Structures are given as C-alpha cells and as structure tokens.
Amino acid sequence: MTECSSDTTQNQDVVRAKGWESALPRAAYRNLERVTTGIPWFEVYRTPGNVFAIYEDGQFEETLSYLVPGEERAVLIDTGDGIGNIRTLAEELTSLPVSVVNTHHHIDHVAQNYLFDDVALFDDPLGLARKAAAEGFSHEEALDLIAPGNVWKPYPEGFDPATYHMPPFSVTRWLKDGDTIDLGNRVLEVIWTPGHSPDSVSLLDRTARLLWVGDLFYTGSIYTFLPGGDFDQFLASYRKLIDLFPLYDKIMPSHNEPWLDKEILKDVLAAAEGIRKGQTPFTVGKGGMRKYDFGRFALILGPDQ
C-alpha cells in the first residue's frame, strides 16, 4: 500500500456483506427531498439549511459530497470517486461559481479536484495532502474502487475503467486551523480534526447549525490506521467537536448517511475511550487489524495502535 492509499484499499481487511447494495436505500434518506438531475450516477438530496447532499450510492464507499451555496459563490465539499462528472452536476445545481474544499486528501474525496480551478485543502504536518495534489493517484492505486463487487450501477457514459485514475491537481489555498471560508452571507469555519488522516478537517456553519465531519465519523467501519492516522488524535478531535456542541445540531458525514444527530459523537467517544482502556472485545482481521463493533458503527485499529 502506498503512502497516499485510499480508505478503499483497506476494505479487504473489513468483512464485506455480500450484496451490500440490497440494503439500499438507507433509512436516513427517507425524510430528505430528492432532487432529480441529468446525471444518474449520483443521487442528490436537498437537506435543511439549503445544502445539496451528493450521494454515490452505486459504489461500495457510498461517498457523500456536499454543494453548499452562499449568496456570492458555492463550495463543493469533496469531489468524490471520480466516476460520474461532479463538476457538470454542480453546475446543474447552481449558477454560482463553485470552488472545492476537501475534508482530507484520500482518493475518494479528491478524485475530481483536477476539474476545478479553485481548490482548498488542509496543509498537514506530514505533507500527505501536498503529495496527493502533486502526484494524483495512479490506475493501480484507484483500481480497488471499481474492483468486482464494489460497483453495482452502470458506469456513466464516457467513463473508462481501463484508464481510471486521478490526475494531479492544483491547490489554490492551503488551509490552516481556524480559517474561514466566506460564501457571501454564509461562512464555513475550518476545524482541524486529525485522527483518520493528518489533514482531516471539519467545517462548521454556525448559522445553519451544521458540521461537516469528513471521515472522522460515518455509520459503518471508521478507520484510524491509514497512513498518518492516529488513534489518540482521533480521541482528541472528538473531544474538540463535543466541546463545540452549542454551535451545531446536525453532522454531515462523508459516507453512507447525511444529516445525523450530533449526539452519536458522544457514543463514539465513549467507545473509543473504552478501547484505549483495554475494556472492549474485538475481532482480529487481515494484517492484525482489530475491529471493535458497536452496531451502528465500528472502529478499526491497526496492530500497533
């Protein structure tokens, strides 16, 4: 596995239910407004707070990107797997100029950054984000995203699995902790929340009372063992976000389900603290990976964590 490996590369180390797509659609989408678009690869939902949740339900990662409009411009939070054209979709959903803000550098979050002229990414101390931007991801690195069993929808017209890769991209703004992103009468605050990766950030909208958490939390198996992942930083990031509870009500993860109650973060923190104290049973998978299963979510730690 290379230094810039994606979340997907390690899916082989997590037990995958056969026919995972048969459980779709997930219950979280039932109360959201479905938006019809001309690009069927994506399912699009409008959430309260005037946000478009862009859902790649046809691929095993079930990646979520978000289009967040202000009065002067919009931001696209992550650019997904690179299978459907997310720029064309964004331009269908808004007439505002669109820039990209990434929650972190993993392949399933930056795959179409190269299609955009304005990209913001956190400048992590290990330089992994800079490496991803400079080098992109090769066909070999991307291949597991489209491995047999990982895609159930037909590929969009023009997508070629034989040449699938992620080109390098330019970063026009390297983010720091505490930065703000002004969209015109809408401001997103950058909160550094490492643990899943060293460049992971959460984005806070105080007015809409929303928090985008990237891969720090999602329903499913949450990883802390990828390059630059750190379980102690993971714990610290959860404590930071729980301290900010007075400022938001809902969290917007980058996989599986959007628009979740913030209280689940307390459950994850309690679970993680129990793991750190050695109080929690686990199963051991390939390479010594330890899986701690808590039902709605699981935590996957490496053998040295």
pLDDT digits (tens, 9 = 90+) for 209-242: 999 999 999 999 999 999 999 999 999 999 999 9
- Residues 120-132 have a mean pLDDT of 97
When pLDDT is averaged across residues 81-108 and rounded to a whole number, the result is 98
Please compute the mean of the pLDDT values over residues 26-35 and round it to a whole number. Answer: 94
Q: How far apart are CA 105 and CA 6, in angstroms?
A: 9
Domains in the chain, please, with CATH? 8-221+248-262 (3.60.15.10)
The token duo for 104 is 């972190």
Predicted confidence band at 6 (pLDDT cuts at 50, 70, 90)? very low
Q: Please, what is the average pLDDT of the chain? A: 93
Structural element, H or E, at residue 31: none
| Tens digit of each residue's pLDDT (9 = 90 or more) over 182-197 | 999 999 999 999 999 9
> Is the pLDDT reported for residue 17 higher than 80?
no
Higher-pLDDT residue of 13 and 60 is 60
- In this prediction, residue 10 carries a pLDDT of 35
Judged by DSSP in three states, 157 sits in: coil
Which among 76, 143, 74, 72 has a CA at the least distance from the CA of 107?
143
What H or E segment, with its residue span, contains residue 201?
strand 201-205
Whole-angstrom distance, CA of residue 256 vs CA of residue 60: 9
What average pLDDT does the segment 44-70 reach? 97
- Confidence band (pLDDT; 50, 70, 90) for 19? confident
pLDDT digit string, tens, across residues 244-294: 999 999 999 999 999 999 999 999 999 999 999 999 999 999 999 999 999
Percentage of the chain exceeding pLDDT 90: 91
The CA-atom distances, in angstroms, between 47 and each of 25, 37, 44 are 16, 16, 10
What's the pLDDT at 9? 35
